[in-house]
Structures are given as C-alpha cells and as structure tokens.
Amino acid sequence: MRAAAHRVLANGAARFGLTVLLVLCLVALAAPWLGTVDPAWLDAVNMNQKPLTTVEWTGPDNQTAPRTLWMGTDSFGRDVYSRVVYGARVSLVVGIAVALVALSAGTVCGLLAGYFRAIDAVLMRVMDGLMAIPGILLAIALVAAWGASLATVIIAIAIPEIPRVTRLVRSLTLSIREEPYIEAAISVGTPTWKILLRHVLPNAIAPLIVQGTYVCASAILLEAILSFLGLGLPSEIPTWGNIMAEARVTFSQHPHNMLFPGLLLSATVLAVNLLGDGLRDTLDPKFMKRTEGARR
C-alpha cells in the first residue's frame, strides 16, 4: 500500500493533478473565509463591473465599503469571485459522488455478471442497451423526469456511467476467477460472497480506482454541461456551468464572466484526468490494453 503510494507520488502527472485537486478541495471547504460574500447576494448598483475594479460595494449586512472585485460582477450585480469559489463545491461534490455511486453499482453488477453465468447473459444485455443511449441524453432525460436537485443530478449522471464500470469489473472477475487461489478458496468451502469480497474484489481495486478518476472527470464535465444548458441546478446554487449559462446573454460585452468559471472548470477536469493517467501508468499498466485504447 505504502509502496503504491510512493510510486504514484513519483509520477509527475499524478502529483500535479493531486496538488491542484487538494488546493481546490481546500478552497471549496474554506469558501466562506476567502473574502467571499453570499454568492446569491446582489448589489444592483454594481452590475457588469470589469474584473479588478474597486467599487463602493453594499454587502449583505447593508454596509457600504470599498471592495475589489477580483473577477468583476455579473449582469445582476453578483460577485463573480464569490460565485466561482462556491461553485467549486458543486463540481467537486458531484464528481466524487458520481464516481462513488457508479463504482459501487458497477462493481456489484460486474461481480455478479462475472461470477454467475445465469445472471451474466441478462445483465450484460441490459448494460449493452444502456450503453447504446448517448450518456448525456440519458442524464438530461432523467433530470427532466425527476426535476433538478443535487441528488437527482448525481444519480442521473451516474446511471450512464454504470455499464462501463460493470464491463470492467466483469472482465476482471472473469480472469480472476480462473486463478488458483480462487480454486483453493472454493475447495476449502469458502462461501461465495466471501470469495467475491475477500479474493476477487481486492484484485480489482487498482483498475477500479483508475476508472473512478475518469468517471469523476466526465461527471464534472457533464454537470457543467447540464447547468450550462439551463437544465441543471437552479442559479441560487452557483455552479461553474450556470455562471457560464448566465454569462451567455452578455457575452459580447462582458466575456470575462465566461472566462473565469471556464478556466477553473477546465483546470479541474484536467487535474482529475492527469491524476487518472498517472494512477493508470503506476498502478495499472495493463489498463490501456484492456479498454482497447478507448477511454470512454
């Protein structure tokens, strides 16, 4: 375990990705103490201010004081810096939660399909069907059906990711179950659930972690897309996607409102992807072969 951690940290891409993500997590957690105001607060006097201007700003406590607007204000007079900092919370929570949900559901399905022939045929046909539906459309449709909240957005983005995880775990299970130690475990009468949890699952962990980072990256992108199209979380909860959605209207005069959330979003997804590539190269060198070079 410790050796694996050392190998990962020796990898430049993984180290870079991890550092960026740690900083972002700290920023998201410490959002109220980073000189932000309530992200939903609007000061109608200061609409559409350019970045780095210092204005007389009326805060939520109705006190007017000079304030430097690092990223300017949007067309409602809300502080873009505060919205972008708070927006990091949604992206990170969605990314991590989707990865956890998709990995857990996919692992259960994959273990069952890989170990029990009877379940395999039916379950994999269902997964093939789910994979034929473009993920983004399925997520959009599910959010439309359930209404947009943090929980529904997470579930809606996780569902299209499940088949891919299932396939991965199934193929790992199929090869692991042929190993001599499984045969040994069966011959001494180990119950099946224990074989799956104690012998099969631990040997699938490394590829699962790698897959999890890619799921996380695409979940962050997909959440931003949903918000950007106006189908995601309502604008009381700032997300990078809905900040950019609101910036579209005034884009020709005030392109900066698109710039900052866009930069942070790209940097975050890049960091997750680099972490994933680093983990893949150090923990699971066979990954590329197994997925035939295609990542999604």
Residues 124-163 within binding reach of another protein (CB under 8 A): 125-126, 128-138, 140-146
With 0-12 / 13-18 / 19 or more C-beta atoms within 10 angstroms meaning exposed / middle / buried, residue 177 is: middle
Strand partners, 65: 57
* Cα angle 48-29-83, degrees, rounded to a multiple of 5: 10
Instruction: Find how far residue 141's CA is from the centre of its chain.
Output: 19
With 0-12 / 13-18 / 19 or more C-beta atoms within 10 angstroms meaning exposed / middle / buried, residue 292 is: exposed
Region near another protein per CB under 8 A, out of 3-11, 56-64, 186-194, 257-265? 257-265
Please identify, using beta-carbon distances, which residue of 105 and 182 lies nearer to another protein.
105
Pair of tokens at residue 20 = 């960026």
Candidates 93, 258, 284, 290: give the one binding another protein (CB under 8 A).
258
Candidates 9, 266, 285, 286: give the one binding another protein (CB under 8 A).
266
Region near another protein per CB under 8 A, out of 1-9, 41-49, 92-100, 265-273? 265-273
* Cα angle 281-286-292, degrees, rounded to a multiple of 5: 110
Strand partners, 143: none
CB of 223 to another protein, least distance (A): 11
**Is residue 189 part of the contact set for another protein (CB under 8 A)?**
no
**Is residue 249 part of the contact set for another protein (CB under 8 A)?**
no
Interacting residues toward another protein by CB under 8 A: 125-126, 128-138, 140-146, 217, 221-222, 224-225, 228-231, 244, 251-252, 255, 258, 262, 265-266, 269-270, 272-274, 277, 288, 292-296
